[in-house]
Amino acid sequence: MHYPDLSPYRYAVSAPLARVFHVGWLSRDVDYRTGRVAEDIVARLRSLAATQPANQMRGYHNCEICNCDEPQFETPKGLYVLGAAEIWVPDPVLPTIYAAPNLIIHYIDAHGYQPPEVFVHAVGAVDSNRWNGADVCDRLLDRGSA
């Protein structure tokens, strides 16, 4: 499912969420920016994906670019399978949240996707001891768990 980078968040909601923006919702039919992403940013994304899965869904979404079934990465607790949740990250300056499918990790690793610099900066700045994207997502989607 494709949403342009930095477009208002519309995934599975009746109206766009204020101040929440898509990042990394790729499709094989739409070109995307490529380039290098620092390993410490990818490591932070892996940590956020494994510890704060936002908007967790039933089942998995495969990569639309390569049809890879269940892309995954190793964690201290075992394999973590991508494709069933999102990563929500706050902007360190603006009252903005970036929402990425956790497949963004696979898109970076396997397809050279380069997210917008504002997202990369936000990932680098997030304090996961003070921020929980899963809780914020539940609250904004009115799921009542926060």
Residues 94 and 50: beta-carbon distance below 8 Å: no
* pLDDT per residue as tens digits for the range 50-69: 999 999 988 788 899 998 87
**Separation of alpha carbons 62 and 51, rounded Å:** 21
| Rounded mean pLDDT, 11-30 | 94
* pLDDT per residue as tens digits for the range 109-122: 999 999 999 999 99
Angle between helix axes 104-111 and 39-51 (nearest 10 degrees) is 150
- Residue 2: inside a domain, yes or no? no
- Residue 1: inside a domain, yes or no? no
| Residue 28 structural domain | 8-140
Confidence of residue 125 (pLDDT cuts 50, 70, 90): very high
- Residue 145: inside a domain, yes or no? no
**What's the pLDDT at 86?**
97
